[in-house]
Amino acid sequence: MVISKKFLAKKCAAQRKLVARQLRKQRIKLELSQDELAQRAGIERKTVNRIENGHFSPTLETITRLCIVLKIAPSTLFGSGRRAKR
């Protein structure tokens, strides 16, 4: 099976939205502003904003930095551990 570009784009968009919601939820839980989170993680505030708005797919390094500051496992950003729909 070859994955089509359209299918992949749809799945990636859904994952960006999920990461956006979870990142915002965890940041607010710790009462951090986007600027505070960015400073502690060593990234730009606009990067945090773009991730939270679902306009940017963060690198593994950026995810790791954010998760260290938020004191969560990277898997937390990708949902509840439910099995992916096919």
CATH code for position 30: 1.10.260.40
Q: How many domains are contained in the chain?
A: 1
Distinct helix (H) and strand (E) counts, the chain? 4, 0
Task: Express each pLDDT in 9-43 by its tens digit.
Answer: 999 999 999 999 999 999 999 999 999 999 999 99
pLDDT tens string 43-59:
999 999 999 999 999 99
Dihedral pair phi/psi, residue 39, rounded to 5°: -60, -45
- Domain assignment present for residue 83? The answer is no
The predicted pLDDT at position 79 comes to 81
For 56, the domain range is 8-78
Is 30 a member of any domain?
yes
Reported pTM: 0.85
